[in-house]
A = this chain, B = another copy of it.
Amino acid sequence: MIYLDYAASTPVSEESLHVFQQLSKECYGNASSLHDAGGRANEILAYSRQSLAAILGGEPDGIYFTSGGTESNILAIQSIINGLPPHKQHVITTSVEHPSVHHAVNALQRLGVKVTVIEPNQEGIITKEILKQALLPETGLVSIQHANSETGIIQPLAELATLLKERDILFHTDAVQTFGKMHVSIKELGVDALSISSHKVYAPKGAGAVYMGAHVPWKPIYQDTVQENGLRPGTVNVPCIGAFVAASEQIMLKIDQQQQLDIQLRDYFLQQLKKRKLSVRMLQESDQRRTLPHIIGCFFEGFEGQYVMLACNRHGICISTGSACASGYHHPSPAVKALHVSDRDALQFIRLSFGRGSSKDDIDQLLHTFESLQKEKKGA
Q: Chain B interface: which of A209-217, A263-271, A311-319, A361-369?
A: A311-319
Residue A1 CB within 8 A of the other chain: yes
How many interface residues does A have (CB within 8 Å)?
A: 73
Residue A11 CB within 8 A of the other chain: yes
Beyond A9-B30, A12-B28, A106-B222, is A35–B320 a contact (Cβ under 8 Å)?
A: yes
Beyond A32-B328, A69-B234, A318-B35, is A240–B10 a contact (Cβ under 8 Å)?
A: no
Q: Tell me the complex Cα distance, A233–B70, Å.
A: 7
Residue A262 CB within 8 A of the other chain: no
Residue A130 CB within 8 A of the other chain: no
Which residues of A28-84 have CB atoms within 8 Å of chain B's CB atoms? 28-30, 32-38, 67-71, 74
Number of copies: 2
Pair B325/A235 contact, Cβ less than 8 Å = yes
Residue A172 CB within 8 A of the other chain: no
Q: Tell me the complex Cα distance, A226–B28, Å.
A: 32
Pair B318/A29 contact, Cβ less than 8 Å = yes
Which residues of A142-178 have CB atoms within 8 Å of chain B's CB atoms? none
Contacts of A377 in B (CB 8 A): none
- C-beta contact mask, A8-22 vs B, less than 8 Å → 1, else 0? 111110000100110
Residue A291 CB within 8 A of the other chain: no
